[in-house]
Structure 1
């Protein structure tokens, strides 16, 4: 059956005199509200989905600036992680300082297909000159679309803002540069009164020029929600579906950019994929403005769960990146951060340790040693018991099969008595690996010998 999908209603710009601030949803003196219209839109996961990166733009503006050398090394890490899979398709750079331009130039000279070097600018001709001078093929352009920004920040009307944005897009097109329009604060914007008529004009320019124009859907304050039947402007499903149906934006031209202010950045990003966006914008470790952006490493695992594969990505590089940020950049990763925190696969509970002792699949999310180079770890404290101590030895020394130590081994009891006495004497911290190593070396020298043999 031939089904032609087209909105019969042509949306025109509503150039209102006073801003629509949705004060019923965003009262400011209260927590924002979620409203529902009960409209259900169809799930529409694109055949091809991918990740883009903003570590050197949104990530960099939220912490002390990276040196040029650090930017280049992190760029190399992104390339090594992607491993020519094309899952990490692009990364964006600031161009405002000599340091950033130098780093971008070196990264472009690397000649990597993935990630492609792109840039970010404000929507003006002075900034655009930087893009032209660098020879960058695609640039993001800041295009604030809520009345909070148009009226209060820019001091313009909707028509004036639209005209300003269209002028710089036409400048990019005339120079053969792909525009990526960053619709800032879309989750507080008048979707049908401004966003749809504006994007329709962008799609018309794209058709006329033959140059694709990307739409980045920017949830600037993390206000997007993924609840079924939620209303615009907060509905992630509604925004993505609306751009596809009302504006004819193809999936491969839609990119979601979220923030984590309400602890929903990963869920919202995955929802954007599920309802028709091909690209999700992320940053390494989720570093970004305020509560941060969507963590790149988290979306790799979302990709793997949705697609069933991660192609030929080298996921061990995730662990290397985390170590680089800790050791070189001195960035303190919260210890329980999924996939990268030092304790993300550490268990302390005795009953969990007993399960790991029997089979680590019982309490480990996947083979973290094989996939991330992070073996499951059992920490020892006053609640560990015999099973916890035995599990620590097995995991710490990577003992497999018949090599494993049974919790009934009398030497485990000796170690437990020592641990218990530590807490009787007033200790409040966990037992350090170095302390346990000394006890194992004394009581179980054969384990140390086996490890030395393996290492050599």
Structure 2
């Protein structure tokens, strides 16, 4: 009969009864959760109605993977581009280091040059870290560059352990612990990437492995971080959802059963099922200090958690930007688009060309009366981008008036009203265009020319 252990929790300062000290379950056959992940059908979200307490840390922040995961699905950045983007990350993060870290590859000459040039800038934040293969040679390479922390891949689902690496769970754990020890012996702080955690046997492998890492951290005096990687985007934020897909369950379990401190716990999500942002926010709310993101969400397959999204999630949760310069988001988007040729989808929140653009005349009329009616916040003040309207067959006279006033920079009493001769002249021309069969939006150049013509003739 198993004895019940009652102990005083250092976290809650309450006596807690815990029957379980999870040990590694070295199974003969892989646990693939086939009922949940049938592969030939849509994955299923199961519920067991077990809810865990929210536990948002005092210090929550963002880490960046633009130069690592963000480069795995696009043309690589040049050295100069990486340095400039790093400078913008520093600007966005502000003096309080809200963008706490960013990670680099170190295998190509270009990546090493970029890393070294970024280090030469002398910024405290974002701290430069790396992601490397798990070998002594690579540890020594990173140490020689002057980096203090590196990511180490420690895949934790049986999909990876059995089917990718051809190991048993015991063999995988022994291998991983040996790698982490080598990392520590090389003078580096290890950040363990628990790949595919949302398809892993949480109590049979994840928790026992995390327990060993925390023991190793305590014995060595070196912090060992755990990055919970939702590699396939299977995580769900719903209270009462079952493991291994429950984000709150994963974060709570790593803290409660393995004693992982919030500051050593990080969430890395993907957006395969459109849950990247809400899962990252859930990780914050249940105890992870860090959420790992990439600029514009660029990353493997459907992408990572967009860094700019979590900037506004932070502000929404805490009521402050804590020193972040949000206009740097616009600078980053424009730079990446113009300098690298990356095509940002126009509807992308905060950064797309159309994110605060209205096409409907009734909306334009509202914007004329009060921008707050149809603009999510003061986008001009916060992002350096004033709300805009496009002119088409649905814009109406209000849309034409709004466009003309914005183009000419007119405010207050100087603005053209909807019944002005200039507005009517341009509106009549727009209406005629569509009456004659036009199906495209009126271009900025056409509107500029027609506005100039209207002012000269009737203004």
TM-score by length of 2: 0.95
**SS of match in other structure, 1:281:** strand
What's the counterpart of residue 428 of structure 2? Answer: 417
What's the counterpart of residue 270 of structure 2? Answer: 259
Separation (CA, whole Å) in 2 of partners of 1:77 and 1:15: 47
What's the counterpart of residue 318 of structure 2? Answer: 307
What's the counterpart of residue 133 of structure 2? Answer: 122
What's the counterpart of residue 7 of structure 2? Answer: none
Separation (CA, whole Å) in 2 of partners of 1:121 and 1:90: 16
What's the counterpart of residue 451 of structure 1? Answer: none
1:441 aligned onto 2:452? yes
Separation (CA, whole Å) in 2 of partners of 1:99 and 1:355: 50
Separation (CA, whole Å) in 1 of partners of 2:16 and 2:431: 70
Contact 1:6–1:246 (CA under 8 A) maintained in structure 2: no
What's the counterpart of residue 296 of structure 2? Answer: 285
Once structures 1 and 2 are overlaid, which stretch shifts more, 305-314 or 239-248?
A: 305-314
Which consecutive unaligned segments of at least 5 residues does structure 2 have? 1-11
Q: 1:293 to 1:211 in 2, by over 3 A?
A: same
Q: Please point out which of 254, 263, 282 is paired with 1:271.
A: 282
Cα RMSD (Å): 1.6
What's the counterpart of residue 144 of structure 1? Answer: 155
**SS of match in other structure, 1:256:** strand
What's the counterpart of residue 76 of structure 2? Answer: 65
* TM-superposed deviation, 1:82: 1.5
Separation (CA, whole Å) in 1 of partners of 2:334 and 2:418: 33
Contact 2:421–2:458 (CA under 8 A) maintained in structure 1: no
Contact 1:62–1:287 (CA under 8 A) maintained in structure 2: yes
Deviations 1:401-437 (A, max 9, x none): 2222211223322211100111112211111111111
Q: How does 1:74-223 map to 2 (within 5 A)?
A: 74-223=85-234
What's the counterpart of residue 233 of structure 1? Answer: 244
Deviations 1:225-269 (A, max 9, x none): 011110000000100011110111111111000000001101111
Q: 1:53 to 1:357 in 2, by over 3 A?
A: same
Q: 1:375 to 1:246 in 2, by over 3 A?
A: same
**SS of match in other structure, 2:150:** strand
Separation (CA, whole Å) in 1 of partners of 2:258 and 2:456: 70
**SS of match in other structure, 2:218:** helix
Contact 2:422–2:458 (CA under 8 A) maintained in structure 1: no
* TM-superposed deviation, 1:446: 12
Contact 2:217–2:223 (CA under 8 A) maintained in structure 1: yes
Q: How does 1:43-62 map to 2 (within 5 A)?
A: 43-62=54-73
Deviations 1:94-135 (A, max 9, x none): 011111111111111211011000000122323323222222
Once structures 1 and 2 are overlaid, which stretch shifts more, 434-443 or 297-306?
A: 434-443
Once structures 1 and 2 are overlaid, which stretch shifts more, 163-172 or 126-135?
A: 126-135
Q: 1:396 to 1:52 in 2, by over 3 A?
A: same
Q: Please point out which of 28, 41, 57 is paired with 1:17.
A: 28
Q: Please point out which of 355, 368, 371 is paired with 2:379.
A: 368
Q: 1:389 to 1:6 in 2, by over 3 A?
A: farther
What's the counterpart of residue 352 of structure 1? Answer: 363
Contact 1:7–1:246 (CA under 8 A) maintained in structure 2: no
Separation (CA, whole Å) in 2 of partners of 1:34 and 1:447: 64
Once structures 1 and 2 are overlaid, which stretch shifts more, 94-103 or 117-126?
A: 117-126
Q: Please point out which of 8, 14, 17 is paired with 1:3.
A: 14
Contact 2:78–2:110 (CA under 8 A) maintained in structure 1: yes
Which consecutive unaligned segments of at least 5 residues does structure 1 have? 449-456
Q: 1:239 to 1:2 in 2, by over 3 A?
A: closer
Contact 2:136–2:183 (CA under 8 A) maintained in structure 1: no
Separation (CA, whole Å) in 1 of partners of 2:340 and 2:127: 24
| Equivalences, count | 448
**SS of match in other structure, 2:114:** helix
Q: Please point out which of 345, 348, 368 is paired with 1:337.
A: 348
* TM-superposed deviation, 1:445: 6.0
Once structures 1 and 2 are overlaid, which stretch shifts more, 2-11 or 369-378?
A: 2-11
Once structures 1 and 2 are overlaid, which stretch shifts more, 291-300 or 167-176?
A: 167-176
Q: 1:152 to 1:111 in 2, by over 3 A?
A: same
TM-score by length of 1: 0.95
Deviations 1:191-238 (A, max 9, x none): 000000000000011111111111000000000001111000000010
What's the counterpart of residue 409 of structure 2? Answer: 398
Deviations 1:29-50 (A, max 9, x none): 0000000000111111111100
Separation (CA, whole Å) in 2 of partners of 1:447 and 1:215: 68
Contact 1:5–1:245 (CA under 8 A) maintained in structure 2: no
